[in-house]
Amino acid sequence: MFNKKIKSVILAAGRGTRMKSELPKVLHTIFDKPLISYVIDAVNAAGNIDENFVIVGHEAEKVEKFIMSEYDNVKCILQSPQLGTGDAVNRAAPFLKDFDGYVIVICGDTPLITSETINDFIEFHNNNHADLTVMSAIYENPKNYGRIIRDKNKKFIAIVEEKDATYEQKAVKEVNAGIYCINWKTVSPGFSCLKSNNAQSEYYLTDIVKWAVEQNLTVQSYILENNDEIFGINTKLHLAQAAKILNKKSLERLMNEGVQIIDTESAFISPETTIGADTLILPNVYITGKNKIGNKCKIGPFAHIRDGAEIGNNVRIGNFVEIKKSIIKDNTNVSHLSYIGDSELGTGVNIGAGTITANYNPITKVKSKTVIKDGANTGSNSVLVAPVTIKEMASIGAGSIITKDVEAYSLAITRAPLKCLSNWVKNKIEQFSGRTGEK
Ligand code: UD1
Ligand code: CA
């Protein structure tokens, strides 16, 4: 690697008008994870970037609150009003005074970018001693993207936005990915020279290219091979398309690692889930967040695992089962119609159909833990009201509501005793049979 400091500026202040939503664009999620998190995580996983600035504006408090709760190496900078991407980068200038290194500028709405690509991009910029490198890609249908404009000698001279492009320029298939590597010292003076005399009356970041060319700075483009990575989310359709791309990649990785997936069209598994070899994923499984699932498990059909699951080997998570933030050890079965949340299940546990761990008190908003020790079992339709512990080998009778800890090897049952009223039905029939003809 080289000896340059690198910082990032992530643009997330725009309204995201085309999403037609009350929610800021960058807080829209794929696998329950906001778009901005995908970008911050990719930047953080790329080597050497020591400080990140996120430009917030539209619904700034919401975006900032989320970022502050998740990251401690990110500073949010307010851009108000939102005057365009060029103005957005300029908001970071006061924090980068005298900075003599590279600044990676990246849009907060490109969740598919990987840290490998970011690293490669910075390396390319550094090796070529460039002042400004713009990431580009070739799109058959370049609609919505800025076009990379070259002169007769193929020299990269400008970026023109779709809305400002001439008919000929619109035909250009090389597009601006919205990711830039900037030699801050030489290029940053250009940000205060940008003009807003364009179709959107905005200060375009893309105009920095023309400025840098005029100053005789070294400007180049880095053409990305896998153009999926720079897919920008502007609409809800784009969001669904990006989720598909991310899921496809995630399923391919899992299958390469020995996981069997019956139906790749209906299985959705987050990229942050690891699954051991010979685990079988049945149709309609939805797994979000960070989870670890062992070998030889059987998951689904119709199972929902919702973040923070640690599942051992040879575990069965069956039909219409939801698992959240729970540890489930080897050889345990949760086969049908159950909710297991904030729980710890030992080995060889059997959870009867319709067992619910009642973990949440909506009045106090407190979530409590359920512990079920090795070899214990619950009968069908049991409710375990947390905090509660079911000790080793204990048994819960079907239909019970468990509000106290249950001792090892004992049976706990809260069911009302069964009454059997002989001939009750027969008597009713006789009682009503004399009344035929009545309405
Ligand atoms: C932008 C680029 C375009 C490129 C495309 C790639 C410009 C002018 N155009 O277009 O060349 O092909 O990205 O995806 O840069 N934002 C702010 N403050 C603002 C305006 C926008 O922070 O005042 C943020 C948005 O929140 C968003 C990002 O900048 O994350 C890009 O803005 P967006 O409006 O989506 O730009 P595009 O039209 O997609
Ligand atoms: Ca965009």
Measure the CA–CA gap between 48 and 123, rounded to whole angstroms: 11
Residue 124 confidence (pLDDT) above 80: yes
CA of 107 to the centre of ligand 1 (A): 7
pLDDT of res. 28:
97
Measure the CA–CA gap between 230 and 436, rounded to whole angstroms: 76
Q: Are 299 and 317 in contact (CB under 8 A)?
A: yes
Which atom of ligand 1 has the smallest separation from the CA of 177? 6
Alpha helices in 95-235 (DSSP H): 115-127, 167-170, 184-187, 208-214
Catalytic residue from among 28, 125, 129, 336: 336
Q: Taking Cα atoms as reference points, which of 320, 362, 366, 364 lies closest to residue 342?
A: 366
Q: Taking Cα atoms as reference points, which of 49, 43, 77, 82 lies closest to residue 63?
A: 77
Measure the CA–CA gap between 294 and 347, rounded to whole angstroms: 13
Which atom of ligand 1 has the smallest separation from the CA of 207? 8
Residue 438 confidence (pLDDT) above 60: no
Cβ-based neighbour number of residue 407 at 10 Å:
14
Q: Rounded mean pLDDT of 221-230?
A: 92
Pocket probe mutation, ligand 1, options 58, 107, 110, max atoms within 8 Å of Cβ: 107
Side-chain half-sphere exposure of 3, counting CA atoms within 13 A? 0
Measure the CA–CA gap between 265 and 271, rounded to whole angstroms: 16
- β-strand 350-351 against 377-378: which pairing, if any? parallel
Residue 2 confidence (pLDDT) above 80: no
Q: Which residue has the higher pLDDT, 437 or 359?
A: 359
Atom 34 of ligand 1, residue of closest alpha carbon: 14
**Which ligand neighbours the alpha carbon of 85 most closely?**
1
Check pocket membership of 224 for ligand 1, CB cut-off 6 A: no
Catalytic residue flag (residue 336): yes
Which atom of ligand 1 has the smallest separation from the CA of 84? 23
Measure the CA–CA gap between 168 and 34, rounded to whole angstroms: 37
Q: Are 302 and 46 in contact (CB under 8 A)?
A: no
CA of 365 to the centre of ligand 2 (A): 38
pLDDT of res. 439:
53
Q: Residue 412: pLDDT band by 50, 70, 90 thresholds?
A: very high
Q: Taking Cα atoms as reference points, which of 48, 47, 27, 51 lies closest to residue 38?
A: 27
Q: Are 267 and 281 in contact (CB under 8 A)?
A: yes
Q: Cα 38 to the chain's mean position, in Å?
A: 7
Residue 437 confidence (pLDDT) above 70: no
Give the tens place of pLDDT for each residue, 290-331.
999 999 999 999 999 999 999 999 999 999 999 999 999 999
Q: Rounded mean pLDDT of 384-396?
A: 98
Which atom of ligand 1 has the smallest separation from the CA of 108? 30
Atom 25 of ligand 1, residue of closest alpha carbon: 14
CA of 179 to the centre of ligand 1 (A): 10
Q: Residue 436: pLDDT band by 50, 70, 90 thresholds?
A: low
Task: Tell me the pTM.
Answer: 0.92
Q: Residue 104: pLDDT band by 50, 70, 90 thresholds?
A: very high
**Which ligand neighbours the alpha carbon of 27 most closely?**
1
Q: Rounded mean pLDDT of 162-179?
A: 96
CA of 20 to the centre of ligand 1 (A): 16
Measure the CA–CA gap between 366 and 378, rounded to whole angstroms: 24
Amino acid identity for residue 40 in this structure: I
pLDDT of res. 326:
98
Give the angle subtended at the CA of 128 by the CAs of 122 and 129, to the nearest 5°: 90
Q: Taking Cα atoms as reference points, which of 335, 198, 212, 368 lies closest to residue 323?
A: 335
